[in-house]
């Protein structure tokens, strides 16, 4: 019987990202680091070439079985030494005695983690590009679809749905820029021994570090204690939290706009089979957007333990180890999960221009008060005087349940009926929204390359 406890094991996350942080992947990456170290030693003449070749041949789960590693760890209670012993057993001849030569545990652990984060960031980068492409198409499609702008939860002035999405797309573009800029700080290994001096590697310590980095295709930290600086992992979780916060913001907007009294967009819903409620059979809930919001909050919760994992005694202690077994994999898996879900929401989003127009009309023209005020200033009226006049007419129209257009036409404002009708055209007061959409989508096309 499976005794699964963590919802990531059975409910959330994609298999591709879970595979990056699985126990098997962790062991495989550690084997690759050990093999790279052995090859570096061989290139410098420290160990026989044939031993390094044997170690490299056996750097695979085909030969080093996770069950055997676990069995040894239960006995000796040290994960890295358990791997080294199982690895040594798998090697023919005396090659095994050269495994882990001069290294400390976190030379292997942190460098393997760097390889995992490299893979994870590549997937997250692709997720961001997929999401951004979908949002760009949505913004272009609704470049001129007029809708209510809202501030303080109240009707403001008209915008376009394309502009709303373009604002979000520009945020995604910045996240992609942040990820690419931070990658080399986040993905860094180490190979400097017990306290970061490289003494265990002898005179060739710096060369060994350089060769291992070349073998693995990653940067190696210049100065460390026993651990890679945890500011790097803080930056990863912070980046992920920042992205997740944007996704929660987008999803919250979808949830609000899907409310029946607004009804301007809606998540896709399979009316043939999908169930919205166990008791209210009419319900069509924005469950994916709600899921994104909930998981984003969990993800951000990893910021505190990850920051505290940077505060260690002297060159290291072990308080970070258990925490990071949660923070790093869960952060990556949850971020990948909600990025893919957000893209799906936008790709299948039902946009309702007729509802948007209906809500514009519900304002009875009051949202055009600013436009009228500015038209009056064009006629020579002072801005403050125009503001007060339109404020009074707006309050009167609202109190009487009348359209602002009618109140204006009955007033003595220096505007003809034809001018008032033109001003009341919602699409005439979206400013440069369309041009901004064009600018953002062009910048996205340049950034994603």
Let me know if residue 430 belongs to a domain: yes
Q: Is residue 54 part of a domain?
A: no
Evaluate whether residue 432 is within a structural domain: yes
From the CB of residue 358, how many other CB atoms can be counted at a distance below 10 Å? 13
Q: What average pLDDT score do residues 78-87 get?
A: 97
- Number of CB atoms found within 10 A of residue 256's CB: 15
Q: Is residue 370 part of a domain?
A: yes
Distance CA 163, CA 165 (A): 5
Contact criterion met (CB below 8 Å) for 449 and 416:
no
Residue 279 predicted with pLDDT over 90: no
Catalytic residue among 277, 322, 416, 428: 277
Nearest to 240 by CA among 295, 189, 289, 308: 295
Q: How far is Cα 76 from Cα 70, in angstroms, rounded to an integer?
A: 10
How far is residue 290's CA from residue 397's CA, in Å, rounded to a whole number? Answer: 38
* Per-residue model confidence (pLDDT) at position 272: 56
Find where tokens 């893979």 sit. Answer: 119
Residue 350 CB-half CA count within 13 A = 14
Residue 277 confidence (pLDDT) above 60: no
What is the spatial distance between Cα 314 and Cα 320, in angstroms, rounded to a whole number? 13
Q: Is residue 383 part of a domain?
A: yes
Task: Catalytic residue, from 22, 100, 152, 322: name it.
Answer: 152
* CATH for 387: 1.10.40.30
Using alpha carbons, select from 351, 79, 117 the residue that is nearest to residue 228: 117
Domain membership of residue 436 (yes or no) is yes
Known catalytic residue: 152? yes
| 8 A C-beta contact, residue 107 and residue 4 | no
- What is the residue whose two structure tokens read 């951004």? 132
Work out how many domains the chain is built from and give that number: 1
CA-based nearest residue to 155, from 343, 404, 341, 384: 404
Q: How far is CA 1 from each of CA 4, 197, 235, rounded to the nearest angstrom?
A: 9, 48, 39
Percentage with pLDDT > 90 across the chain = 92
Q: How far apart are CA 147 and CA 352, in angstroms?
A: 10
Cβ distance 349 to 34 under 8 Å?
Answer: no
Cβ-based burial of 178 (10 A; exposed 0-12, middle 13-18, buried ≥19) = middle
Is residue 241 situated within a structural domain? no
Average pLDDT, the chain: 95
Supply the pTM of this predicted model: 0.94
pLDDT tens for 340-361 read 999 999 999 999 999 999 999 9
Alpha-carbon distance of 29 to 296, in angstroms, equals 28
Give the per-residue pLDDT at 412.
Answer: 85
pLDDT tens digits, one per residue of 22-59: 999 999 999 999 999 999 999 999 999 999 999 999 99
- Residue 140's closest CA among 120, 166, 122? 166
Residue 374: which domain range? 363-440
Using one digit for the tens of pLDDT, what is the confidence trace for 165-212?
A: 999 999 999 999 999 999 999 999 999 999 999 999 999 999 999 999
Residue 338: inside a domain: no
């Amino acid at each position: 019987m499976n005794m699964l406890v963590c919802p990531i094991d059975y409910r959330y996350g994609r298999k591709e990202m879970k595979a990056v942080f699985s126990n098997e992947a962790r062991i495989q990456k550690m084997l690759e680091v050990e093999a790279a170290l052995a090859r570096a030693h061989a290139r410098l003449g420290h160990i026989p070439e044939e031993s390094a070749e044997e170690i490299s041949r056996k750097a695979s789960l085909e030969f080093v079985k996770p069950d055997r590693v676990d069995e040894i760890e239960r006995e000796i209670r040290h994960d890295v030494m358990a791997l080294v012993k199982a690895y040594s057993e798998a090697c023919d001849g005396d090659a095994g005695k050269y495994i882990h030569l001069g290294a400390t545990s976190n030379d292997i652990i942190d460098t393997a983690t760097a390889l995992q984060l490299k893979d994870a960031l590549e997937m997250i980068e692709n997720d961001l590009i997929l999401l951004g492409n979908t949002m760009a198409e949505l913004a272009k499609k609704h470049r001129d679809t007029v809708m209510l702008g809202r501030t303080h939860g109240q009707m403001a002035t008209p915008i376009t749905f394309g502009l709303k999405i373009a604002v979000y797309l520009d945020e995604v573009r910045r996240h992609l820029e942040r990820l690419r800029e931070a990658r080399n700080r986040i993905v860094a290994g180490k190979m400097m021994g017990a306290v970061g001096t490289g003494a265990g590697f002898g005179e060739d310590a710096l060369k060994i570090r350089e060769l291992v980095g070349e073998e693995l295709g990653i940067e190696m930290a210049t100065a460390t204690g026993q651990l890679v600086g945890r500011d790097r992992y803080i930056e990863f979780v912070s980046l992920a939290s920042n992205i997740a916060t944007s996704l929660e913001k987008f999803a919250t907007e979808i949830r609000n706009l899907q409310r029946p009294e607004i009804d301007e967009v809606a998540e896709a819903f399979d009316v043939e089979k999908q169930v919205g409620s166990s008791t209210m059979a009419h319900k069509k809930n924005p469950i994916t957007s709600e899921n994104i919001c909930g998981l984003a909050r969990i993800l951000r919760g990893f910021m505190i333990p990850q920051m505290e994992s940077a505060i260690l005694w002297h060159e290291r202690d072990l308080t970070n180890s258990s925490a990071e077994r949660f923070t790093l994999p869960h952060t990556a898996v949850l971020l990948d999960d909600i990025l893919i879900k957000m893209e799906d929401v936008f790709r299948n989003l039902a946009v309702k221009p007729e509802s948007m127009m209906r809500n514009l009309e519900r304002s009875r023209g009051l949202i055009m008060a600013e436009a009228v005020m500015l038209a009056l200033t064009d006629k020579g009226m002072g801005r403050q005087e125009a503001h007060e006049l339109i404020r009074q007419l707006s309050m009167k129209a609202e109190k009487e349940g009348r359209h602002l257009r009618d109140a204006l036409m009955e007033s003595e404002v220096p505007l003809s009926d034809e001018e008032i009708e033109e001003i009341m055209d919602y699409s005439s007061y979206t400013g440069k929204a369309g041009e901004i959409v064009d600018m953002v989508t062009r910048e996205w096309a340049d950034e994603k390359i």
